[in-house]
């Protein structure tokens, strides 16, 4: 990956992300995509708190086309260590993809010097709900946006575990 191939590389990764999401999700996933950009920040909070804070921050963002987002990514390129494409939300008309990046400036100094000239890595990921017991079971891809349902399913899972162990 280079600054000149960044958009092409992301474009090539999008169908892989959509296929991955279709493999795991019960939702219909539209091919039409819009994008938001999120910095991955080191935090001391646990995963669930970080996820809620990230959702709150991202809900305020207006999804744009990749073409509109590319100037921001181009400016960041020299500081990009890792780029992760996530399905953020699926609606009837388009899929919102969150382009999450981890900056080299967040790395420890010794390691940062080792990877300073390396191109960024590019991955695609689908967030799996914590209450999902069978990883082959399909789930609602918008699960992160249904907090009340998540709490109910986690409570149900705990009750089932307590019943089995007791």
What per-residue confidence (pLDDT) applies to 18? 97
Beta-bridge partners for 83: 101, 122
19's CB contacts (< 8 A; 6+ apart) are: none
pLDDT tens over the chain, length 166 residues: 888 999 999 999 999 999 999 999 989 999 999 999 999 988 776 777 787 888 889 999 999 999 999 999 999 999 999 999 999 999 999 999 999 999 999 999 999 999 999 999 999 999 888 766 777 788 888 888 766 555 566 566 666 667 766 5
How confident is the model at residue 157, as a pLDDT? 65
In this predicted structure, what is the pLDDT of residue 153?
60
For helices 66-76 and 6-24, the axis angle rounded to 10 degrees is: 120
pLDDT of amino acid 29? 95
Classify 102 as helix, strand or coil: strand
| Whole-number pLDDT of residue 23 | 93
pLDDT at 122: 97
- 121 and 97 Cβ atoms separated by less than 8 Å: no
For tokens 């600054």, the residue is 3
- With contact defined as beta carbons under 8 Å apart, do 81 and 120 qualify? yes
Confidence (pLDDT) at 155: 63
Non-local CB neighbours of 80 within 8 Å, separated by 6+ positions: 73, 101, 102, 103, 104, 120
Whether the CB-CB separation of 89 and 55 falls below 8 Å is answered with no
Whole-prediction pTM: 0.84
């Amino acid at each position: 990956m280079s600054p000149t191939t960044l958009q092409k590389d992301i474009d090539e990764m999008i169908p892989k992300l959509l296929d991955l999401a279709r493999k795991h999700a019960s939702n219909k996933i539209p091919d039409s995509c819009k994008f938001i950009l999120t910095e991955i920040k080191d935090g001391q909070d646990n995963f669930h708190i970080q996820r809620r804070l990230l959702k709150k921050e991202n809900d305020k963002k207006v999804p744009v086309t990749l073409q509109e987002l590319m100037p921001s990514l181009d400016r960041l390129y020299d500081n990009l260590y890792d780029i992760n494409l996530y399905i953020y939300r699926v609606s009837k008309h388009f899929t919102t993809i969150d382009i999450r990046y981890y900056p080299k400036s967040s790395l420890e100094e010794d390691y940062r010097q080792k990877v300073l000239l390396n191109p960024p890595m590019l991955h695609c990921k689908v967030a799996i709900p914590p209450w999902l017991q069978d990883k082959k079971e399909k789930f609602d891809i918008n699960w992160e946006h249904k907090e009340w349902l998540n709490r109910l399913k986690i409570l149900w899972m705990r009750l089932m575990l307590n019943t089995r162990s007791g």
